[in-house]
Every structure is written in C-alpha cells, then in structure tokens.
Structure 1
C-alpha cells in the first residue's frame, strides 16, 4: 500500500468544512422562514427548504474533508448518516420534527456509547484520541464521565427547546448555542489536560 502523502488540512479550511453547512442552514432558514415554497405541487415551509439545502451541503463538505484528510471521525460519519436519514424523513413527510429530534438522538447515542465503554472498561475516547492527546487513564475516565453528562444535558436541552420554543429559537440554539457550549466545555476542562497529560516519550507515569 502506498503511503498517504496528503498534507494536514489547515485549521481554517477544516473549520469552514465542518461549520460551513450549519451556517448555510441558518442563512437559508432566515431567508425562507416566512416564504413557503411549492415544489412538485407540495408546499414546504422555510425550515423544510433549509433542510433540503443543508443535507447535500453537509454531505459534500464531509466528502471534501475526507478527500483532503483521508479520514473521518466516528462522530462525523454517524452525524452525516443521521442527518441524511432524518433530513430525508423531514422532507419526505414534510414534518420538521424529524430533523429537530435528530439532535437528541445524536447526543443520546454518544452518551450511551461512552457509558457502555466505561461499563466494559474500554474507554472509547482514549482509544480514538489517546495517541493525539496523551493523557493518563484516570484523566480519560474523568473526561468521559463529564462528556456523558454534557451529552445528556444537551439532549434534554434540545427536547425542551424544540418542543416549547419557536423554530427561530431552535435554529439559533443549534447554530450558535451548541458550538459555544462545546467550546466552553473544552476550555473548562483545560486543567484536566494539564493535570493528567503525559509526554509521549515518558516511560513511567508522572506523579499526581
């Protein structure tokens, strides 16, 4: 097998490919939310049309990211799968609830998978990210526990927002609220990486 000589994707391009489709969805919703569109004799609201645009844009951006980097994370693949399935159901059934509940399912599924890993004594985060972010096992356990709590909280928050608030509130939550919460979570756990981080060349665990 020939070695992969592809250069690492620049942070700017990676961010654009990962968050660009979400911004496209936000812009399409803002533009079309009060403008029903008739396609094939069926009238669709702005939310549904924005979903029609978002699904292929996300698929294309994920394909480009894979072509550039040669790899995709499990979360990216699973997210794309659920977006295609529930986005397709949203358009087919002309019912925006399918697309909204997708967020709940994504975070609920990740919380369940991380919990199963802890039960089986197999830390999925450590297995996937351990080489790129060397950290003692205790640190990965703590981070996993915190991420489970975060994902459960986000799933519950999504259910509360889409069931009780407007489409605009939910779109704002998905577009801006979720990324900000994830960013704050990472910043809040910086001390964890400092406390439990190790050097790749260390032969022994550092003292706590």
Structure 2
C-alpha cells in the first residue's frame, strides 16, 4: 500500500497528461501529492523529510506553472528535488560528519564508515547527474519526451542504481557474528 501511495501522484500526472495536457496534469500532481501526505497520515505511515520537500517543491513549482501557463517550471521541479537531495546528503557529510544514509540505515546494515561515505558520494553524484539530464531533456527534447523520461526513465534509472547500491552494500557489509 505504501508503495502505491509513493507512486500514485506521478501515475496520476502521467494519465492526466495523456488525457488532457501538462497543466491539468500539473494540477492533478499537486492534488495527488497533498492526498498522498493525508493518506500517509491516515494510515499512520511515516512522513519523511523527503515527502515534505517534495510537497513543497510540487506546490511551489506547480503553482507557478499554472499561474504563468509555462511548463518550464514543472519541468525544473525534478531537477530542484534532486539537487536538494544531493545538498542534504552533502550537508550531512560536511556538518554532521556522518553519512545521512548511514543515519537512516546504519542500525540495520553494518558497513565500514568509508563504505558509507562512498555510498553517500555516489548518491550525491547520481542525484546531480539526474538533475542535469532532466535539465537537458526538458530544454532540448519535446514535452512528451520529457514526461516519458520523468515517469519511466527516472524510475528505471533509479531502480538500476538502487540495485547497484544493494550489491555495493552487500559486498561491504560487516558480518557481526564473525566479528565476535
């Protein structure tokens, strides 16, 4: 259920883009993102900082897109979100001297500190690369190509990168039983 809630706004965006246009789809994305937060609250699911950041960015860039009738803003939302994630990860490394990924997952997965740092830097680079690719596609490709990239391309690329992350973590995992 949580997985469906995670992707419902983007699925609705895609469907309404195909049925209507980018502006209707943007409005649906805005409503869907608010409903996502409400549903998470009702289901007593955790609402993470990422959810709040995405909500804020969707509402801001969506509103500007609709007010100005300019799809450039909703296209930039994707890059802004990925740059924000990269900056949060980098900020955690710089100011807290600890990987934010380690802070989230370190209780369940034991890795050497260097592995956590490398993993975090890999995610920073990945997020910045996605932001750059999104900017390129938004600027030089058609609106339909951008929508397809946003919905399917980013999902596929993220899935592959996440699987790669899993292999990296498995390879570097510390077996606590053998350490005793």
What's the TM-score, normalizing by structure 2? 0.90
Partner of 1:113: 88
In structure 1, the partner of 2:53 is 78
> Given the alignment of the two structures, is residue 68 of structure 1 paired with residue 43 of structure 2, yes or no?
yes
Please give the alpha-carbon distance, in whole angstroms, between the structure 1 residues aligned to 2:28 and 2:165: 35
Q: Among residues 88, 92, 111, which one is paired with 2:67 in the alignment?
A: 92
Structure of higher CA gyration radius: 1
Show structure 2 runs of 5+ residues with no match: none
Say if 1:18 and 1:168 are closer, same or farther in 2 by CA, change over 3 A. same
Match of 2:120 in 1: 144
* Gap change, CA 1:114 and 1:23, over 3 Å in 2: same
Mapped partners of 1:55, 1:129: distance in 2: 30
> Among residues 24, 37, 41, which one is paired with 2:12 in the alignment?
24
Q: How far 1:109 moved relative to its partner?
A: 1.4
Residue in 1 that maps onto 2:160: 184
More helix per residue = 2
Give RMSD over aligned pairs. 2.0
> Shift in Å at residue 116 of structure 1?
2.3
Please give the TM-score of this superposition, normalised by the length of structure 1.
0.79
Residues 18 and 62 of structure 1 are in contact (CA less than 8 Å); yes or no, is this contact kept in structure 2? Answer: no
Tell whether 2:101 aligns with 1:125: yes
